[in-house]
A and B are shown apart, each in its own frame.
Chain A
Amino acid sequence: MKTDQEKEKRNWSEYCEKTLSKLSPIVEKLGYTLGADQPHLLGERFLIRPLAGGRKLVLVGHRISDGAKVVIKASDEKYGIAELARERLCRNTLEKMRFAYQVFHSPKELAFVRRGGFTIVVTEFIEQDSSFISRPVEKEFALVLAAFKAQEGARATTYKHKALVVQTFGEMTAADYYKKARQYTEDIVKLISNEEIYPELVAALAHASAALRDNQERLDQYGGFLTHWDFTPQNFRVRDNTLYLLDHSSLRFGNKYEGWARFINFMALYNPALAQALLEYVRINRTPEESESLKLMRLFRLIELIRYYASWLPRTAGDLHKLTSERIRFWTSVLCAVLDDKKISQEKIDAYTRVRGTLRSEDEKHRQKDLH
């Protein structure tokens, strides 16, 4: 097992090294240099499988003319290139959508070129005065609420809307969510059969899947909204109180609360007060049906997250394997808490973060520092 992890890590390192040496002269000709430190290539990055199967590098660089910091995304693999092209298409379509009344802010694109087999996208780097999670919770709340409201401003409901957007962004219906949840549940059951958590997790998964199966109408009621399914601080940056979306490939049409759910689940660990504030906001200001919809989406996103970490189990060894098991255990506790309409206890959060701190590699800690 250890060999598999090492082999995968070595493959990733070799790929990065080879790609960077080919890419460096190309970007220089475009007027940019690559930074010496590339934190986004380190740590657990080698385990993060790309969405469609193609690898892409996310790099930090500088513009030669004025030293301005830039972000360079590049790939020379079919699916990686397709993902970069799709992300660009999503960004451009978003700007053209007549029914996306609110403005979505994106970092300015400085270059999109095909050179030497690579597709390269250069965008401005949004310098933040402070990271999102270091801001006061009141400010965080105001920023994300504005971002969610902006996403909700776009709803694809008419025949004409559908033809325009579904092709570009894709759409998830209640039936799709349930189908995926069922598939993830089957995968998890196979992947974790040797884990201590197995009985508790299997029971929670059955309960959550049943909720998604029995409440499809509630999910569809709030369907057709633009949503960012990976709306976490690593995918946006804030400058002058404006939120810039960094990853446009994760936009799709689906349940209004899909993005909320991802964010609230994330904050259940990183900032429980913010998670609670968002849940309270929905409970007080919106209909009870919307709170139900949010709960269902949280269940779906938790099943997905556990499936994601479960897929790491056969690929990891040593501390990383132990950490993966701990992650599954922690997110199972969150899943159970959501099912019971409760908060995850601070003791469980503290215990998990303590263990995570001891098991995380130094490289991963370095990668995480810049991520949020």
Chain B
Amino acid sequence: MRIVLTTPLYPPDIEEPAHYIKELAKRLAPKHSVTVITYGYLPEEIRGVEIITINKKRLLPLRLFAFARALHKSARAADVVYTQNGPSVELPAALVTLLTRTPLVMRLGDTRASTRAASHFFLRLVKGFALARASALVHDSPLPKVEILPFQSKPTAALVEYEHSWEKHLEQLSSFFHYEN
């Protein structure tokens, strides 16, 4: 299956959506063709995953246009576009998938972006447009990554739980993406 992941944040960014998308891409890559489109410069690479970055330092309209253009190129051949919420990707994802007729699945994982959208008319409008376009919404998230800390015993149980939460999450996504997990 050809999957395009779009996200406003990607490592080296440190926020949860950044790590989520990287981890997801890593886990999907062995069985699928995965492309990540994100804003940034010098992203952390993943073996077998194409990562397209749009320079964040450009002016907003220019970077939105560049993002939409890159997404258009990838989405035409994709089976699904999975987007992280956030206006800078919601707008191009909704517009491009409308043009290419590619199914759009949206994850509402960035709570800060949701809070901002709630108090801003234009951002609310963009989010509403993307939500209307999305064929499925993903609210659940796997557990946060477990850190192994010096001076503490290895959190074996937490690591098992973390793996389990990802298995469950991928199972849920497979039903939205319509692939065999």
A residues at B contact (CB < 8 Å): 101, 137-138, 141, 152-153, 155, 157-160, 162, 217, 220-222, 256, 276-277, 280-281, 284-285, 287, 289
B residues 33-63 near A (Cβ < 8 Å) are 39-42, 44, 56-60
Q: Which residue of chain A is the closest to B57 with respect to CB atoms?
A: A159
21 contacts between A and B (CB under 8 A): A101-B112, A141-B151, A152-B14, A155-B12, A155-B13, A155-B14, A157-B56, A158-B39, A158-B57, A159-B57, A159-B59, A217-B42, A220-B41, A221-B12, A221-B41, A221-B42, A221-B44, A281-B149, A281-B150, A285-B148, A287-B11
Give bound CA distance, A285 to B154, whole Å.
12
CB < 8 Å neighbour of B150 from A160, A222, A277: A277
Contact indicator B42/A220 (Cβ below 8 Å): yes
Closest 5 pairs (CB-CB, A-B): A277-B150, A221-B42, A138-B151, A157-B56, A158-B56
B residues at A contact (CB < 8 Å): 11-14, 39-42, 44, 56-60, 112, 145, 147-151
B122 to chain A, nearest CB (A): 16
Q: Which residue of chain B is the closest to A284 with respect to CB atoms?
A: B148
A222 and B12 contact, Cβ closer than 8 Å, known pairs A141-B150, A287-B44: yes
B95 to chain A, nearest CB (A): 21
Give bound CA distance, A81 to B61, whole Å.
41
Give bound CA distance, A153 to B59, whole Å.
23
Give bound CA distance, A155 to B145, whole Å.
21
Which chain B residues border A281 with CB–CB below 8 Å? Answer: 147, 149-150
Contact indicator B151/A159 (Cβ below 8 Å): no
Give bound CA distance, A160 to B63, whole Å.
13
Give bound CA distance, A155 to B41, whole Å.
13
Which chain A residues border B56 with CB–CB below 8 Å? Answer: 157-159
Which chain B residues border A152 with CB–CB below 8 Å? Answer: 14
Contact indicator A285/B151 (Cβ below 8 Å): no
Q: Which residue of chain B is the closest to A287 with respect to CB atoms?
A: B44
Which chain B residues border A137 with CB–CB below 8 Å? Answer: 151
Which chain B residues border A162 with CB–CB below 8 Å? Answer: 57
Give bound CA distance, A137 to B152, whole Å.
12
Contact indicator A285/B57 (Cβ below 8 Å): no
Give bound CA distance, A281 to B57, whole Å.
31
CB < 8 Å neighbour of B44 from A138, A280, A289: A289
B36 to chain A, nearest CB (A): 15
Give bound CA distance, A145 to B147, whole Å.
12
Give bound CA distance, A220 to B148, whole Å.
27
A101-B112, A276-B150, A277-B151 known; 11 new pairs, CB 8 Å cut-off, are A157-B57, A159-B56, A159-B60, A162-B57, A217-B42, A220-B41, A220-B42, A221-B44, A285-B147, A287-B11, A289-B44
Contact indicator B57/A153 (Cβ below 8 Å): no
Q: Which residue of chain B is the closest to A279 with respect to CB atoms?
A: B150
B84 to chain A, nearest CB (A): 16
Which chain A residues border B42 with CB–CB below 8 Å? Answer: 217, 220-221
Which chain A residues border B112 with CB–CB below 8 Å? Answer: 101
